[in-house]
Structure formats: structure tokens, C-alpha cells
Amino acid sequence: MTNLEHILKKLKHIEPEQHYADRSLHTIVMTPRTSRASWFSFTFFRVAEYGAAVALVGLLLVVMLGNSSLVTTFSPIQSNSLSSGGLRAEAEAIDIQIKLLDLDYEESSSTLIKKSTTPILRKKTSRQVIAPLETTTSTIANESTTPPTVDEVLDLLAE
Amino acid sequence: MIDGEEDIIKSAIQGEASAFGLLYKHYQPSIYRFVYLKVGRREEAEDLTHHVFLKAWQNIENFKPRGFPFSSWLYRMARNQVIDFYRTAKGNISIDDLDSDIFRSSDDTEGSFDLSLLLASARKAILELKPEHQDVIIMRFVEDLSVREVAEALKKSEGAVKLLQHRAMEKLREILHD
């Protein structure tokens, strides 16, 4: 052991006063112990309990005040299709689509008839057949709004 | 380490004041010395030591033995207490303000007077060291703690403590020779 280490060992003679030590110990053990863990868990559960209560009240208010909008937003089925207004709008939209399809059909059908009758006319078949066909095609071409039905065309041919 | 320290600590955790009293009586002088050698004044040392043990009493349930001594836990708290002390305005203590009557012996012989002077200069030299060096010097040479105990208290590896000890002793010799 060096001389310095020997001197340092001597510092062990430093000691607190007995009176101070006794007084300090007495004060310490008389101090109520605040368990940090239990305080934390206590506080945590109290805060969680309060928070849950507030959240439930808030949810209840939202349900009460905004029921319809909430159902609309969160419902898996689109409620628009179940309302009468929605159904009517949907039905009207379908009708429009049908009319548009008919228009398209009318245009194409008149063209088709014209195409099919042209070769017959070129072959110069009997006037009995050609005359009504010509009349029919010209009628169809002129009457673009009301296309003739198949029965009407046959009736025309039969005349 | 006290005989049956683990059981004593368990009793203290359960709030048994007498068990904590045993721990206090065993460790309080060492902690007081450690703090005193780092702050240099009796009043401050008493105050800080009191706070260390108050904290220990209030937080003893957080102490996990796991093979480490209770003393390391106390030294760590004492260290933090001293750091906090120096962070505040209270920590501005000049070396010249140190208590000088700490080693006053009842017999005023020439030898004891010389020893008192020698110890006072050693105490001042310790205060001039870096806090880490102070910790190692006090724990290893004044309190005779093992390298492992010091490492645990300082949260360093044993190798780091040995290195710190070597450097601290060199520095202390330097200061004392000046």
C-alpha cells in the first residue's frame, strides 16, 4: 500500500454526529411512504375511468343528435337505394337509358333495312315486290322518330 | 454488507421502520463521508445525506438486488444528489470555505496536528479532482469497495473503473506534490 493510499484510508475517520444521525433517521421513518408504483397505477386507472366515461357520454350524444347521418355514414348498405326518392331517381335514370338505347336502335335499324333492300332492287325483281319495299325504306328513312315494327313492315309487304 | 441483508431489505420494503433503521445505521456513515468529501462542508453533507436516505426509504421497493449490493444503489443516489447540489447556486463552494475542524483531535500532540494537516490537504486535493475521479478514489480507497461494487454504483464496466482509478491516483499525486 502506498503512502497516498494510507492517507486516504485515514479519511475513514470522518463520521457524522450521532445526534444528527438519530434525528435524521427518526424524521425519515416518520415520513409517510408514497409508493410510486401504486400512485401511478391509481392515477392511471382514475384517468382511464374518467376518460372512458367522457367518451361514452360523447358517443351517446352523437348517436342521439345525429342518428340519421350516423346510420347513413356507418351503414354497410347504402341507404339511398332504400329511400323512395332515391328509388324514383334510379328508375328515371333507367328509363332514360332505355330511350337512348331505342334511339340508337332506330338509327341502326333503318340503315340495316336500306342495306338489305338495295341488292334486291339492283336485281330488278318484280315490281310487285320492289314497289312496296321502296315505299317502306323511304318511309323508314323519313320517319326516324317512330320506327316500324316487324309486323308493320310485313303488313306493308303483304299489301 | 450486513448479514441477512436481503431479508432486511424485504422487511424494509414492507414498511418495517426497524429494518430500514438497520440499513441506515450500517450505510449512513459511508454515504455521509462520500458526500462530505465531495461537498466539503458538514451542514451540506448532513442535508444531502438525509435526502439520500429519505429517497431510499420512499423508493426502496424499486431496489432490485440481482446480486448487486444495496450500497451501490445508495452511492448512486448520493452521487445524483451531489450533482443536483452543484447544479444549483448552493453548490458554489470555494475550497477555502471548507470545514477545518473535522479532524480536530482531543489530544493536541504534534503528531496528531501533522496528521490533521495531511488529511486536510488530501481532502482539498480530492475536491480538485473531476467528479468521476472523486467517486472512484472515495469508494475504492476510503470506503474499500470492490471494483465490481464501484462499477455498479457508477454504471461502468470494471475495466473502466480500473482505468479511472489509475488516472485519478495519478492526478491526486500531482495535486499533492504541487
pLDDT in tens, B45-87: 999 999 999 999 999 988 877 777 889 999 999 999 999 999 8
The ipTM estimated for the assembled molecules is: 0.80
pLDDT band per the 50, 70, 90 thresholds, residue A90: confident
Q: What percent of chain A has pLDDT over 70?
A: 52
Chain B residue closest to A5 (CA)?
Answer: B141
| A chain contacts of residue B119, beta-carbon cutoff 8 Å | 7, 10-11, 13
**Domain limits for position A95:** 84-159
A19/B contact by beta carbon, under 8 A: no
What pLDDT, in 10s, does the model give residues A33-51?
Answer: 765 555 566 567 678 888 8
Residue B125 has pLDDT above 70, yes or no: yes
Q: Identify the weakest region by mean pLDDT among A53-62, A127-136, B161-170.
A: A127-136
A18 found inside a domain = no
Alpha-carbon separation of residue B50 from A125, B18, B109 (angstroms): 129, 17, 34
- Test B119 with A11 for CB contact under 8 angstroms: yes
A1/B contact by beta carbon, under 8 A: no
**Domain limits for position B147:** 5-177
| A chain contacts of residue B50, beta-carbon cutoff 8 Å | 24, 27-28
- Tell me, what's the pLDDT at B116? 77
- Tell me, what's the pLDDT at A95? 62
Predicted structure pTM score: 0.59
What cell does B85 get?
447540489
A135 found inside a domain = yes
Structural domains counted in chain A: 1
Distance, C-alpha B123 to centroid of its chain: 13
Kindly provide the b/e burial profile for residues A72-111, where b requires at least 16 CB atoms within 10 angstroms of the residue's own CB: eeeeeeeeeeeeeeeeeeeeeeeeeeeeeeeeeebeeebe
Counting Cβ atoms within 10 Å, is residue B28 exposed (0-12), middle (13-18) or buried (19+)? buried
| B chain contacts of residue A36, beta-carbon cutoff 8 Å | 58-59, 62
A142 found inside a domain = yes
What cell does A29 get?
421513518
Residue B104 has pLDDT above 50, yes or no: no
- Test A7 with B20 for CB contact under 8 angstroms: no
B159/A contact by beta carbon, under 8 A: no
Q: Identify the weakest region by mean pLDDT among A93-97, B53-57, B90-94, B148-152.
A: B90-94
- Test A29 with B103 for CB contact under 8 angstroms: no
- Tell me, what's the pLDDT at B105? 44
- Tell me, what's the pLDDT at A28? 92
| A chain contacts of residue B169, beta-carbon cutoff 8 Å | 4
A116/B contact by beta carbon, under 8 A: no
For residue B96, what is the domain's CATH number? Answer: 1.10.1740.10
A16 found inside a domain = no
Mean pLDDT confidence for B114-118: 76
Decide which of A22 and B111 is more confident: A22
- Tell me, what's the pLDDT at B97? 61
What pLDDT, in 10s, does the model give residues A125-157?
Answer: 556 666 666 676 676 666 555 666 777 777 877
Cα three-residue angle B102-B73-A44, rounded to 5 degrees:
130
Chain B residue closest to A36 (CA)?
Answer: B59
Decide which of A63 and B20 is more confident: B20
Alpha-carbon separation of residue B164 from A5, B24, B133, B151 (angstroms): 15, 29, 6, 10
A48 found inside a domain = no
Mean pLDDT confidence for B141-169: 93
